[in-house]
Amino acid sequence: MKTYQLFIVLLYFFSFPILAQNELPIQQNNLNLKPLNSLSSSSLQTNLEKELNLIPKWKTLMSQNKMAVGVIDLSNPKIAKYASINGNHMMYAASLPKISILLAAMDAIENGELIETKEVTNDMKLMISKSDNHAATRMIDRLGYAKIASVMTSEKYELYDEEDGGGLWVGKRYGGGGDTNREPLLNLSHAATVNQVCRYYYLLANGKLVSSDRSKQMLDILENPALHHKFVNTLDQIAPNARLFRKSGSWRNFHSDSILVWGKDPKRRYILVALIEDESGEQIIRSLVRPIEKALKKA
């Protein structure tokens, strides 16, 4: 083999791990993927609490369990770091739990329980990107509450756990009418905890929701949200070139947002989730991004 050919082969071989880490889903084997509860970082936790407690109103809301925040640092996927405030406190999350419907649908398609028609694919995109309630309801009707609940509570995902504060749940059609299947702890129709939503995005980023291919398909659906408010409003300003994978929700005083930020610079790669019960929740969520990035930088 000629010298320059050998150089090209060696360059590709040694750069492949770096290239793989720059892609989504992240290419990690099961042995390297650690459970979320083992990723707790004392430095990130300290800096998260310090930054958020600087705002008196936020400090009050957190003390009243009306504000929950979770963040995962993915700047180095092999040593991801996690911190949260009120992480296991379940709250009404409006449209955010539509990500549960998306996962249940992908699981059903993979197992041959749902045919991946053009209409189904279009409804999944509308349900996430534009948060279309009619599309979400059509997906719920196709799947059924039992299917959605079985995926959320399955040992494979553990995205709703009665012994760990609950989690992601969809037990009511979006738009009213029909039967309900509310979650058993607080009788909520559309619920979430930041811990379980962070877990969802962590598994998704690592290609562990259904399969690597299905995770990639879900990432494609979550990317480039049509609604540019909350987290996205701020990130449009400070990180216009970052890839954003996102689902939010609002109803009355309940505001929620969840996002996977994947910047060109690995230092701006993280998962951020917020659940807030307050009339100014939308603005609070917008204002969260900068202090969160400060906490990540300091940690």
**What's the topology of domain 25-298?**
Beta-lactamase (3.40.710)
Residues of the chain with pLDDT under 50: 1, 3-20
Angle (nearest 5°) at CA 201 between 163 and 214: 110
Paired strand residues for 167: 160
pLDDT score recorded for residue 177: 81
CA angle 125, 228, 298 (to 5 degrees): 110
Give the orientation angle of helix 56-63 with respect to helix 42-52, to 10 degrees.
120
Dihedral sign from CA coordinates of 21, 26, 27, 33: positive
**Residue linked to tokens 């430095």:** 43
Of 132, 148, 224, 134, the closest CA to residue 190 belongs to 148
Token readout for 6 is 């050998």
- Count other Cβ atoms within 10 Å, centred on residue 298: 13
Going from N- to C-terminal start, the domains of the chain cover 25-298
Count CB atoms within 10 A of the CB of residue 102. 24
φ and ψ at residue 191, rounded to 5 degrees = -125, 160
Q: What is the pLDDT of residue 41?
A: 96
d(Cα 84, Cα 72) in Å, to the nearest integer? 9
